Structure 1
Amino acid sequence: MPNHDSPDPIPRRKLSDAVFDRLHAMIRSGELLPEDPLPSERALMDRYGVGRPAVREALQALHTMGLITVSHGERSRVKRLTPQSAVHQLDGIAQTLLSVAPENLDHLKDARKMFETGLVRVATARCTAADIDALRQMITDQSAARDNPTAFIAADIAFHARIIAIAGNPVVSAVADAMLKWIFQHHSALLRWSGHEDVTLTEHGQIVDAMAAGNGGDAARLMGVHLDRSAHMTEVPANPNDVQ
């Protein structure tokens, strides 16, 4: 039988949390639209009967979530949200997760493979002749950067990002792009490209050939082989002297 006399206090909420909820609701409902200025701090203080610290703390929380911009001396404004901006909010915590629990890098690479093999199949069905020409040019540009590791890696990322974009799903693209960035950022200093440039370029060319032929199954298979082979380039070597 429940004890109705046992203490069950209702927790007091911070005033800033209440202000945050009100402003968040205004954004979600469309009362405040992208690029709209928020009421001034003084107006919010008067409207909600709270002090300046509560207002500023609420605004900072909205800014941290990526919902508003905060500029010194100017009114805060509602940000225009996109799938990319939403996923971007995860960048910091994702990098921290990989640093404190590096075993998650393997899980992230597995997830990337799942996404990219599926996306290249969709991209094959949707790509245009202009897309194929652009991808071939990117391979040419990457080949020209073979003696510049930083440029070569940047060209590699751009090639994969272009295929992801061709697939045309902005939500999936935002997630896939983010995973690609997290992997390369986390171990950029340990990527071992030396001696693998020609293989990488050949595999990129084979993927594009399959896309140009309209064979999504082959493109997905080749992408899987490519990602499996290149996975060791983002592994921490057992012997630091192995880094090339």
Structure 2
Amino acid sequence: MSDFKGKSVMVLGGSRGIGAAIVRHFAAAGAKVRFSYMGSAEAAAAIATETGAEAVQADSADRDAVIAAVAAAGPLDIMVINAGVAMMGDPATLDPDAVDRLIDINVRAPYHAAVEASRKMPDNGRIIIIGSVNGDRVPWPGTTAYSLSKSAVQGIGRGLARDFGARGITVNVVQPGPVDTDMNPATGPMARHMHSAMAIKRHARADEIAALVMFLASPAAAMITGTTQTIDGGIGI
């Protein structure tokens, strides 16, 4: 896609899964891509070598590290915020520190990364946050912390879309359902249960999520902002 040739793109959380697919798609389209990673140094190095993208280590739970990584990228045409963690369990027994870290990564990092990116972003830029269908529903017990974080992301997307709209900067949230990654493999123990509630009974591929991100980042999506774009195979309809 020639629309992205020479564009400056940053992907927060780009070493594995959906993030890596997004990095590959933008790099293949001629964009200049930088991505962050936390613990997956080997995977990050492999993606950087494969695509020519620049890998930057930054813990998304560390607000200052997130802000510094985005600021160091310079003016960004496109900011994609993919870093996220999940946990399940009885709220009465989950480690409170682990819950706070989840909120730091899934809520605070997207907010601060988006705001920092907006400071130098040219008019008509794009900010895309990867959320989850769990922002809309709680399909089974034990997902309260994760679901609350993804509901919060919806508010970030709507609010910043309003705040940045005068500059033509769009802000949208992509909400995948089950995606075949190492965090939620298509052959995992929950797969059959998930597929039973879906119209299209399979996990999505990371490339399918990346393709939606590419569309939202394109000139064709200039009037799409403040939305949640669900890509979940019809789960729960």
Same fold (TM over 0.5): no
User: Bigger radius of gyration, 1 or 2?
Assistant: 1
Q: Identify the TM-score tier after normalising by the shorter chain.
A: under 0.3
- Higher fraction of strand: 2
TM score, norm. by length of structure 2: 0.24
The TM-score, its normalising length taken from structure 1, stands at 0.24
Greater fraction helix: 1
